[in-house]
Amino acid sequence: MLKIAFYGKGGIGKSTTVSNLAAIFAKMGLKVMQIGCDPKADSTSVHHGGKRMGTVLDLIRKYNDDFSLEDIVLKGDDNVLCVEAGGPVPGMGCAGRGIIAALEKLEQKGAYEVCKPDIVLYDVLGDVVCGGFSMPMRKGYAHEVYIVTSGEKMSIYAAGNIAMAVDLFRKRSYAELGGFILNCRDVPDEEKNVKVLAEDFHSSIAGRIGRSRDIQEAERLNKCVCEAFPDSPAAKEYTLLAENILKKWGIKAKC
């Protein structure tokens, strides 16, 4: 079972990247679980035609422990197994601690053993990396971390902070840095600046997604671009990224 965490500044296109990769992996015949670790709980909505699903924390608040695994793992229209960690009531509690509680509950319910996914994708808010938001990096969770960034100044700044956290935690046998995913915003010297950032952490640009109206239109249709416009340049770029990830880990598509 391969587990990968995706981090990035809010609004950088991280959830779009994760959702498209999940849908592509599923099309390849792999069993995929996508876990949204953002308090907004909208990571997996594209797999359900735009509808948001209930969260693990909502169930914990309402039922304590009296709910089943089927209540928190829902299969999307594209066969992606979806989980939303959720967050605290606005203005109360710590979102990071909420992620810890949700992921621990998934383990207690035997999510990985029962569902037996080939790939688990964690979609994690990453403007800051506090103890809770670093949970998917910890030993036993993700094997590696990918950081989604553009060439914009604040995005690179956030990506650098996340990379520093990954480097620090790596010494505790946490997840390795898999690379940076460039989600283009067409700013000057964009690819050059992200390449310099990657080199600072002895890493590389693992994938490049060009700025595309097809992605925006697919989101308006509540679909992944690989579903809405499978022959588009964006869909091909996401597919190439997915293939490269599988190749790196020696995983073969099943169909």
CATH code at position 43: 3.40.50.300
Residue 222 in domain: yes
pLDDT of residue 221: 96
pLDDT of residue 193: 97
Residue 194 in domain: yes
H or E segment and range at residue 22: helix 14-27
Q: Which residues are marked as active site?
A: 9, 14, 40, 127
Residue 255 in domain: no
Residue 254 in domain: no
Residue 189 in domain: yes
pLDDT of residue 90: 60
The two tokens of residue 35 are 């876990």
End-to-end CA distance of the chain: 18
H or E segment and range at residue 137: none
Site of tokens 């992606």: 80
Residue 113 in domain: yes
CB 23 within 8 Å of CB 224: yes
Residue 140 in domain: yes
pLDDT of residue 226: 95
Residue 116 in domain: yes
- Please count the structural domains in the chain: 1
**Residues spanned by the domain of 216:** 2-249
pTM attached to this predicted model = 0.94
pLDDT of residue 92: 59
pLDDT block averages, 10 residues each, the chain of length 255? 92 95 97 90 92 89 90 95 81 67 88 94 75 72 93 94 86 87 97 97 97 95 96 97 96 87
CB 87 within 8 Å of CB 95: yes
